Amino acid sequence: MQDDIIVVEHLTYQYLGTDRPALKDINLRIKRGEYVALLGRTGAGKTTLCLSLNGIVPHMTMGEFSGRVFVDGTGTLDKPVREMAKKVGMVFDNPEYQLSQMTVREEVALGLENLGVPREEMLRRIAEVLRIVELDGLDDRSPLALSGGQQQRLAIAAALAMYPEILVLDEPTSNLDPLGKREVFRVARQLNKERGMTIIIAEHEVEVMALHADRIVALCEGEIVLNGPPHEVFREVETLDRIGVRVPQVTQLAYELDHLYGKWEGSYPVTVEEALQALQGRIGGY
């Protein structure tokens, strides 16, 4: 049985100068190798939860923090962020915020240099992670000359070079075109399925999350409202609508048919393939 690699216990956090907590009594366990999607409208607490997983909250923010966060048994309050980065790689919504070097190679090398990784090992890791995100051959390219999707994949490569066990992505496709989004989702899926990496992603693309995530965690005003497999969470159409989270279009269709005719049996579909299977033989009954 998989063990819990992340344990969040009674986490509450309120930023200095705000009138309400960004997170309120969050309790969450994430298993090693899970792909977990965080859903919620802007201000729901997704980013604060992501930042708490490697200690950026509270070490690098100002506010009132209570509760505990453990990553593979280590409390985030007990280690500096640079140490937690060895376990938890972070990728943010705008890759340009993370890119600061003159070349792709130097960008990936930056974190390794800060850790004092020997040169030969550094070069080996750079080549390895650029190959994983399919940026090999672009070592000498300026990060600013890359497309948005390539920049985000470079940010992922820089995080991967630290050899983390967990990759946290905070709305990584919000500024990307459809092609860039597909590139990022492909890499995340590959890391999870082929390498067993734990993926935690805050995202609005519910169709993609329904397809790839093992678990959906829906937040509203700093609290967890729903937490479970995609079929269980997306069945709660009315609750999700109340907190500003849409469901996959095929799920919405099944919900509407169910409420119009009352004939839907079993779980609502969350992917197109499931919808096609479920609708075969049903069309004549509507």
- Chain segment 203-213, per-residue pLDDT in tens: 999 999 999 99
Give the residue ranges of DSSP H helices in 98-248. 104-115, 119-132, 148-160, 178-195, 206-212, 230-234, 237-242
| DSSP conformational letter for 26 | E
Confidence label for 153 from pLDDT (cuts 50, 70 and 90): very high
pLDDT at 33: 97
Q: What is the pLDDT of residue 1?
A: 38
Looking at the fold, whether 232 and 268 belong to one and the same domain comes out as no
- Total number of domains constituting the chain: 2
Query: Do 238 and 258 share a domain, yes or no?
Result: no
137 and 267 both lie in a single domain: no
Q: What is the CATH number of the domain that holds 216?
A: 3.40.50.300
Instruction: Express each pLDDT in 71-96 by its tens digit.
Output: 999 999 999 998 998 899 999 888 87
Q: What CA–CA distance (Å, rounded) separates 255 from 236?
A: 10
What residues contact 99, with CB distance under 8 A and at least 6 apart?
A: 107, 143, 144, 151, 154, 155
Closest CA to 150 of 139, 171, 135, 162: 135
**Is the predicted pLDDT of residue 238 greater than 50, yes or no?**
yes
Q: Kindly state whether residues 282 and 147 are assigned to the same domain.
A: no
Q: Mind listing the pLDDT tens digit for each residue in 85-134?
A: 889 999 988 887 788 899 999 999 998 998 889 999 999 999 999 999 99
Average pLDDT for 193-209: 95
Q: Are residues 281 and 155 in the same domain?
A: no
- Angle of helix 119-132 versus helix 178-195 axis, rounded to 10: 120
Q: Do residues 69 and 75 lie in contact, with contact meaning Cβ atoms separated by under 8 Å?
A: yes
Q: Are strands 215-220 and 74-75 parallel, antiparallel or unpaired?
A: unpaired
Together in a domain, 254 and 217: no
Give yes or no: residues 167 and 269 share one domain: no
Question: Which of the pair, 98 or 10, is modelled with greater confidence?
Answer: 10
pLDDT digits (tens, 9 = 90+) for 25-54: 999 999 999 999 999 999 999 999 999 999
Are the CB atoms for 108 and 154 separated by under 8 Å?
Answer: yes
DSSP symbol at 138:
-
pLDDT-above-70 percentage for the chain: 97
Q: Is the separation of the CB atoms in 186 and 210 below 8 Å?
A: no
Taking CA atoms, 216 is separated from 40, 44, 285, in Å, by: 10, 14, 32
Give the highest mean pLDDT range of 65-79, 147-161, 169-183, 250-264: 65-79
Question: Does residue 225 surpass a pLDDT of 90?
Answer: yes
Answer yes or no: do 32 and 10 share one domain: yes
Q: What is the pLDDT of residue 42?
A: 93
Quote the domain boundaries for residue 90: 4-247
Q: With CA atoms as reference, report the closest residue to 48 among 34, 29, 65, 36.
A: 65
Measured CA to CA, the distance from residue 154 to residue 104 in angstroms comes to 7
pTM for this entry: 0.91
User: Tokens for 268?
Assistant: 């609502």
Q: Looking at the structure, tell me whether residues 40 and 169 fall in a common domain.
A: yes
Whether residue 282 sits in one domain with residue 230: no
User: Is 60 exceeded by the pLDDT of residue 281?
Assistant: no
Task: Judge if 60 and 177 occupy the same domain.
Answer: yes
pLDDT of residue 115: 83
Q: For residue 71, which phi and psi values (nearest 5 degrees)? A: -120, 110
How many percent of the chain have pLDDT more than 90? 76
Query: What's the confidence (pLDDT) of residue 94?
Result: 83
- Residue scoring higher pLDDT (127 or 286): 127
194 in the same domain as 108: yes
Give the Cα separation of 125 and 157 in Å (integer): 10
